[in-house]
Amino acid sequence: MDLHLQLGEGGLAEQIYMQLSERIAADVLPAGTVLPSSRELADRLSVSRATVVAAYERLAAHGLIRARAGVGTVVTAQRSRTSTAAPASRLQPREIWSSARLAVPDLTRPDAEFDFAPGVPTRAEFPFARWRALLNDQLRTRTDVSYADPAGSAQLRTALARHLVVSRGVTVTPEQLVITTGAQQAFDVAARVLLDPGDLVAVEDPGYLPAYRGFVAHGARVVGVPVDGEGLVVDQIPAGTRLVYVTPSHQFPLGMSMSDARRTALLAWAARHDAAIVEDDYDSEFRFSGRPLTPLHAIDTEGRVLYVGSFSKTLLPALRVGFLGIPAELAEAARRAKFVADYGTAGHVQSALADFIENGDLARHIRRMRGTYERRHHLLISTLRDQFDGLLDPIESSGGTHMTALLAPEQPSDTTLAARALTEGVNVGTVSRWGIEGPGPNGFVFGYGAIATDRIPAALTALRRVI
Ligand SMILES: Cc1ncc(COP(=O)(O)O)c(C=O)c1O
């Protein structure tokens, strides 16, 4: 038989035993397989026969092989108790985990010549050297290696509170902030603090599925509420809703901002129904035109708004740092929830980020990126208007790192067209996949973080070939 064993340094009999038992356990050598004689294998491996005999004796002692007269050494049906293959479990996950809605989407980006992947910031302009220096500084001299306040480092929360008031008009004390593993954990902490199993949660439809998943995983009943040109249609929030999740600055995925009238209506609705609002302000730092949008949090007079932010858009998604701004009365519960979830976010990353904010690096980086994103946004819209008139209708938006355009009614589905676009070297997001109660509208989400500004015209020319 063709048996390849590879021997390295160390106990040879042990290695032969391990490699054969692993193959038997994995059924690469099924029951009935006749092994080479000890002499033959010893010759092939250039080891002494006694070494192979020792390995075979051990396999036999574990019931994995036995000598059969007239046949030779054969693999038996019996599997080793020390088998490396895990036994089939009789346990079942909770039913929610079999829902296709909770499946992990494919997070790998196709290797496309023109990349409009949503949610990807500009790597080329990230100040890696500066970030590395700040992290190094922490690791070299300053890292506190013990457990720390689960709500986050006091230095970071103080720096962040100052940053939020200046950049967003959001007034929170450091004690009202919990540093989280991305916005995603902020949703999780909010749910742990406020929701009982079975509680009703309303999210925008189409909307940000990761937030939807977070609430579903808590056992909430989550319903999609339509959005129109002014944002969430407040009149359609079902009675009994305990928590409403919204993206008022830049609706995800469509891109418009919530009108003042809707903001007032939503806060009034929440007051009437004693509900909470989770405001996801994920990319509001990048606003290019119009007056600055006041967050719901800033006009909330009843402490009903939980404010969520993230460094995934302003810095990098891989950092996994976000935050939750929470009314003072809920702050200790949120701190406990974060503690239960993971004891706290990595200390040296928090400290480096605090330095990054205090030194003005964050504000500088945002200013630069705002210019870059604004140029890309305008170029994208004007080229779409020129080359895709009557085919793709860009949705008016005034900021962010992506823009959305809807396909004309007679067009094929966005998934069909996106697959075709890939054959022309263009990777573009689809809108339909963000539907909550059913497929979302037919259209494209153009992320403009990954694509260089001067590549946008050629990218759209390539896309035009498939529409
Ligand atoms: C609507 C929305 N919220 C939040 C985030 C950021 O999430 P996280 O901080 O978990 O990376 C994103 C990123 O794409 C987003 O699109």
Distance (Å) from CA 346 to ligand 1 centroid: 19
Determine which residue's CA is closest to atom 4 belonging to ligand 1: 282
Q: Quick check: CB of 322 below 6 Å from ligand 1?
A: yes
Atom of ligand 1 nearest to the CA of 317: 11
214 C-beta closer than 6 A to ligand 1: no
Amino acid letter, residue 232: L
- Taking only the tens place, the pLDDT of each residue in 212-262 is 999 999 999 999 999 999 999 999 999 999 999 999 999 999 999 999 999
Q: Same domain for 439 and 420?
A: yes
Q: Is 307 contained in some domain?
A: yes
Ligand 1 centre from 218 Cα, in Å? 19
Has residue 399 been placed in a domain?
A: yes
The pLDDT confidence band at residue 81, using thresholds 50, 70 and 90, is low
The reply to whether ligand 1 has any atom less than 6 angstroms from the CB of 281 is no
pLDDT digits (tens, 9 = 90+) for 339-382: 999 999 999 999 999 999 999 999 999 999 999 999 999 999 99
β-strand 276-280 against 305-310: which pairing, if any? parallel
Q: Is the CB of 183 under 6 A from ligand 1?
A: yes
CATH number of the domain encompassing residue 401: 3.90.1150.10
Residue that terminates a domain, selected from 324, 339, 363 = 363
- Looking at the fold, whether 231 and 312 belong to one and the same domain comes out as yes
Residues 276, 409 share a domain:
no
Give the per-residue pLDDT at 83.
Answer: 56
Q: How confident is the model at residue 336 (pLDDT cuts 50, 70, 90)?
A: very high
- 86 domain residue, yes or no: no
**In this model, does residue 3 exceed pLDDT 80?**
no
Residue 409 and residue 282 share a domain = no
pLDDT at 86: 78
pLDDT at 316: 95
Q: Is 87 or 132 the better-scoring residue by pLDDT?
A: 132
pLDDT at 82 over 60: no
Residue 123 has what pLDDT? 86
Look at residues 363, 396, 416 and tell me which one is the last residue of a structural domain. 363
**Which pLDDT score is estimated for 304?**
98
The number of domains in the chain is 3
Whether 188 is in a domain gets the answer yes
> What is the per-residue DSSP string for 193-215?
HH--TT-EEEEEES--HHHHHHH
Q: What is the CATH number of the domain that holds 313?
A: 3.40.640.10
% of the chain with per-residue pLDDT over 90: 82
- Residue 1 within any structural domain of the chain: no
Separation between Cα atoms, residue 47 and residue 7, nearest integer Å: 10
Write down the pLDDT at residue 318: 94
Q: Which two tokens stand for residue 364?
A: 């500088």
Specify whether the CB–CB gap between 194 and 243 falls below 8 A: yes
Answer whether 280 contacts ligand 1 (Cβ < 6 A).
yes
58 CA distance to ligand 1 centroid (A)? 55
pLDDT confidence band for 78 (50 / 70 / 90): low
CA of 434 to the centre of ligand 1 (A): 13
- Looking at the fold, whether 358 and 369 belong to one and the same domain comes out as no
Closest residue by CA, ligand 1 atom 15 = 282
Asked if residue 84 is part of any domain, the answer here is no
Report which listed range, 80-94, 110-124, 446-460, is most confident: 446-460
Which of the listed residues 363, 397, 412 is the one where a domain comes to its end? Answer: 363
Secondary-structure percent of the chain, ordered helix, strand, coil, rounded to 5: 45, 15, 40
312 lines ligand 1 (CB under 6 A): yes
Both 267 and 409 in one domain: the answer is no
Q: Which 3 state secondary structure label does DSSP give 179?
A: strand
**Where in the sequence is the domain holding 278, given as residue range(s)?**
128-363
Residues in the chain, total: 467
Same domain (yes/no): 333, 382: no
Q: Is residue 90 part of a domain?
A: no
Q: Which is the closest atom of ligand 1 to the Cα of 182?
A: 9
Task: Tell me, yes or no, whether 337 and 211 share the same domain.
Answer: yes
Pairing mode, strands 241-246 and 231-232: unpaired
- Indicate the pTM of the whole model: 0.84
Average pLDDT, the chain: 94
Give the distance (Å) from ligand 1 centre to CA of residue 48.
61
Q: 176 is written with which tokens?
A: 């009202």
CATH number for the domain that contains residue 25: 1.10.10.10
| DSSP string computed for 259-289 | PHHHHHHHHHHHHHHT-EEEEE-TTTT-B-S
Residue in 204, 313, 315, 353 to alter for ligand 1 test, most ligand atoms within 8 A of Cβ: 313
| Residue nearest atom 7 of ligand 1, based on CA coordinates | 183
Q: Could you tell me the distance, in angstroms and rounded to a whole number, from the CA of residue 124 to the centre of ligand 1?
A: 20
The answer to whether position 2 is within a domain reads no
Q: Are residues 322 and 417 in the same domain?
A: no
| Ligand 1 neighbour 184 (Cβ under 6 A) | yes
Judged against a pLDDT cut of 80, whether residue 50 lies above it is answered with yes
CA of 183 to the centre of ligand 1 (A): 6
CA 320 to centroid of ligand 1, rounded, Å: 10
Task: Give the angle 311-316-321 at the CA atoms, nearest 5°.
Answer: 40
User: Once rounded to an integer, what is the mean pLDDT over residues 101-113?
Assistant: 91
CB of 208 closer than 6 A to ligand 1? yes
Segment 120-174, tens digit of pLDDT: 888 889 999 999 999 999 988 766 788 999 999 999 999 999 999 999 999 999 9
Q: Is 247 in the pocket of ligand 1 (CB under 6 A)?
A: yes
Q: Is the domain of 189 the same as that of 312?
A: yes
What is the SS3 assignment for 295?
A: coil
Residue 84: band (very low, low, confident or very high) from pLDDT cuts 50, 70, 90: low
Instruction: Please check whether residue 338 is in contact with residue 326, taking contact to mean a CB–CB distance below 8 angstroms.
Output: no
Q: Over pLDDT 70: what percentage of the chain?
A: 97
**Residue whose tokens read 């005999």:** 53
Ligand 1 binding pocket includes 182 (Cβ within 6 Å): yes
- Does 258 share its domain with 380? no
Query: Rounded to a whole number, what is the distance in angstroms from the first to the last CA of the chain?
Result: 57
**Which of the 8 DSSP states describes residue 339?**
H
Q: Distance between CA 328 and CA 335 in Å, rounded?
A: 11
282 lines ligand 1 (CB under 6 A): yes
Same domain, 443 and 359: no
